[in-house]
Structure 1
């Protein structure tokens, strides 16, 4: 009797071992979480890269538009900064801290802020020292510097990854004159 029970159990185990009807379901159950993670991760990575590209384009837009002037006012600078926010679409413009500044380099190579304007952040202090790369410090010149710090929040799993800053800076020479005068009269 016991021998028959063992034989019966051994036969059932052999049939269970050789049964392949549920193999695909088990493989699918193992693969779905990994494939889902790859899909979501790929989506988030491409979205972050697209946001970085938008920040770069907006930074270039600020410098490009500002460098075309010979004289600007705070109203002109606000228009430029607002227009550059439109480049950030579909990303939130309120998450982008933007500044545009003119940096003057004196005969000794010291670079200071001539004027500055900010959007969603404070402007740089006038006459404060601004650190430029050594190759950009040409005596008796002026440069337009635009900066954006964008706080990127992932759309999926933002609690896991959290927000991070995308920073970009663009430096250009004024195009139509040696320096751009800030005129608020």
Structure 2
């Protein structure tokens, strides 16, 4: 019996036909985990890029206007919601503000409207990048945040917050007006 067992083990050890199956069994879980991790990373990256595009699109729409009404801003925020498709727009928060640098070099909010977050108070000060506008000039600042929650929670088990701020000068006027 021991000789027969020895020959069975010796035959299995020397038989090359099962090597591929054993290698596949060892590598398959690693490759599958890598594939799903990469797919999840790509989904998060796409959500971040779309959220950044929302900020740019809303700024562009506001900057093309001479004056904005509250209802128009609501429509522009809805456009931002559409840009997020196929991702849910529920965690998307947007804000658009018109800023002007006064003669003392202080940047103040002319008007602000938001969707999902608080609007900035008119007259409050804001810090913007140096050299963006000179004294007396105006800029449209849009902000967007998106709380991305992965559908499989494999690599990103908690909510990841993406945010983007976009600046664009008014195109047709010195300062975009706002009416309620």
Name the counterpart of 1:57. Answer: 53
Q: 1:82 aligns with which of 78, 85, 106?
A: 78
Alignment check: 8 A CA contact 1:109 1:137 kept: no
- Counting matched residue pairs gives 180
Name the counterpart of 1:103. Answer: 99
In structure 2, runs of 5+ residues without a counterpart are none
Alignment check: 8 A CA contact 2:77 2:115 kept: yes
Could you say which structure has the larger radius of gyration?
1
Within 5 Å, give how 1:19-58 maps onto structure 2.
19-58=15-54
Name the counterpart of 1:73. Answer: 69
SS of 2:147's partner is: strand
SS of 1:56's partner is: helix
CA distance in 1, matches of 2:136, 2:106: 10
CA distance in 2, matches of 1:48, 1:117: 27
CA distance in 2, matches of 1:66, 1:81: 11
Alignment check: 8 A CA contact 1:105 1:111 kept: yes
SS of 2:32's partner is: helix
Residue 176 (structure 1) aligned with residue 172 (structure 2): yes
Give deviations 1:146-180, integer Å, cap 9, x for gaps.
Answer: 11001111122258522101111110111111011
Q: CA deviation at 1:14?
A: 2.3
Name the counterpart of 1:131. Answer: 127
Alignment check: 8 A CA contact 1:101 1:117 kept: yes
Give deviations 1:74-118, integer Å, cap 9, x for gaps.
Answer: 111111111121111111111111000011110111011111011
The structure that is helix-richer by fraction is: 1
CA distance in 2, matches of 1:9, 1:72: 87
Alignment check: 8 A CA contact 2:63 2:140 kept: yes
Give deviations 1:28-84, integer Å, cap 9, x for gaps.
Answer: 111111111111111112112211221121111100000111111211111111112
CA distance in 2, matches of 1:160, 1:103: 36
Alignment check: 8 A CA contact 1:111 1:137 kept: no
Name the counterpart of 1:152. Answer: 148
Question: What is the CA RMSD across the aligned residues, in angstroms?
Answer: 1.8
CA distance in 2, matches of 1:9, 1:68: 85
